[in-house]
Structure 1
């Protein structure tokens, strides 16, 4: 799909995508006490599939490929990353889980060393250190709250949530590396179509072992998770097809604002100073990485 070089359109598409993903995360968090994260993942993939298929076919995507194993690996890593994200939402406040999602670029830098033989410069290493300091700031702040008796979740549960969220960032980065390999011969729309099909099939195979029959109101929310997730995925693809990554980077972090707003409105979750400081460090690290990428591209 040709790059349109329309920065305004790209920004609007990215703002819409981040809003969709934030609402989807809020729905997942609301349903997580009653349903397995695997069941939530199935509905996320199943009901987003028609939207992704229609959008992909409209853009001329084809399923013909000679790299089926590569697509399977990318779908598996994407499924694990999504599973970690959904599972962490059952333990962590929405804004904290969203902030930890932004560790993905940090893991990409680390994986590129053995994977692509890249040698990060001082700016990239500095971004990695700053980003992980942000993660520690968020975790340490929540640990202090729990120690003071103000936490709503047990300390062991919070630890599981942080570790799972960090693991999600790692697998999301691993999935990104696989996409880079596939992109050498495959169109981006083809990669997205195979991912949607395979992730639906994978979660569907596990569904009978974790099935809980939803009520009608919950079923509506489950459908919404898939639909709004699919719309967000399409908007995200359209954004990167409309403008350069370096120009879209700042808009991707608006998801943190949406998550903080929804967390406050729905659960009364007010970000504390450690959360704010950690988020600033993580976002700042992402901006440093984007600047480094832009300079390398020039």
Structure 2
């Protein structure tokens, strides 16, 4: 039996490139999924129906990952209550985010979602009591200025209901991030994703008994696209984080603005407002800086941590 080849300096770099590429694919898939959510809504598909089918298709994708890894034992959990809280927050966040897509132009809705790292930093400081220095608080301020430029409060450029749904959706997504951090102290990522997808089908399935409707074949094809693209995005997101650090893959998320602008123009004749192109760079720069700062501090802490003997 031949010994495995020794690791080379190129292997980490190749994995980082592959991880970034997977994240790019996931952003293209997720942006297309959100565009289809908006398109499905114009054909009579409710938001909760879209959320249900998005989750329904996620379960086979996760089972595929488990089958390939053989880590079925990772599904055991000692924190059912924590997973229940994550499920409720996740359904609320996804429903608000889907709703925002139906109320706002795709590019503007996507730009508001970019505030999630900013809001996560604020919640981490308030809820988890994480130390947050002047660097990250400065990035938070810059990011909020970008959000204000995009939404133009009082200017009437965007509908108030859509802006409110987007901001609350981003806030709930940030709350999900905080809950995942807490669960992640004892639970593997795949365990968290699996139990969220599975448990969310219970309340969504009950709701479908009352709101589920019959659709024409084209609408069913759009719904299938939502589920399939959501599953692809989920698989690529998980794979990207397994191959490369967060600081490398997360900046790829901002390509979602390009996809949203393209889908918005192609499907709905939407042209992003000038304010969006001025505010988005501030939000994006703020989010990237926050992630880079956390990554740098984590590496510094790991470097000074004494080795385990």
Fold-level similarity (TM above 0.5) = yes
> What is the Cα deviation at residue 238 of structure 1?
0.5
In the TM superposition, 1:1-298 aligns within 5 A as 5=12, 6-33=15-42, 34-59=44-69, 60-61=71-72, 62-140=74-152, 143=155, 145=157, 158-297=159-298, 298=300
Partners of 1:103 and 1:282 within 8 A in 2:
yes
Q: How many residues align?
A: 284
**1:88-137: CA deviations, max 9, x gaps?**
11110011111111111111111112322123111111111111111111
- Residue 90 of structure 1 aligns to a residue whose secondary structure is helix
Measure how far apart 1:159 and its partner are.
0.8
Q: Tell me the CA shift for residue 271 of structure 1.
A: 1.4
| TM-score of the pair, normalised by structure 2 | 0.88
The alignment yields a C-alpha RMSD, in angstroms, of 1.6
1:291, distance to aligned residue in structure 2 (A) = 2.2
- DSSP-derived class of the 1:106 partner: helix
Whole-Å separation in 1 of the counterparts to 2:108 and 2:154: 10
User: Are the aligned partners of 1:141 and 1:275 in contact in 2 as well (CA < 8 Å)?
Assistant: no
Q: Is the 8 A contact 1:106 1:128 kept in 2?
A: yes
Structure 2: gaps spanning 5 or more residues: 1-10, 301-309
In the alignment, is the contact (CA less than 8 A) between 2:59 and 2:197 conserved in 1?
Answer: yes
**Conserved in 2, the CA contact under 8 Å of 1:246 and 1:294?**
yes
Contact kept, 8 Å, 1:141 with 1:274, in 2: the verdict is no
Which of the pair has more CA radius of gyration?
Answer: 2
CA apart distance, 1:209: 2.3
Partner Cα separation in structure 2 for residue 141 and residue 168 of structure 1: 17
Distance in 2 separating the partners of 1:259 and 1:163: 19
How far 1:28 sits from its partner (Å)?
A: 0.2
TM-score (ref. length: structure 1): 0.91
The answer to whether the 8 A contact 2:110-2:260 is kept is yes
Rounded to whole Å, the distance in 1 between the matches of 2:212 and 2:203 is 14
SS in 1 for 2:45: coil
Deviation at 1:55, TM superposition (A): 1.6
Counterpart Cα distance in 1 of 2:24 and 2:96: 24
Contact 2:62 2:190 in 1 (8 A): no
Q: Which has the higher contact order (CA 8 A, sep 6+)?
A: 1
Query: Shift in Å at residue 249 of structure 1?
Result: 2.5
Preserved contact between residue 32 and residue 89 of structure 1 (Cα < 8 Å) = no
Deviations 1:135-156 (A, max 9, x none): 11111189454xxxxxxxxx6x
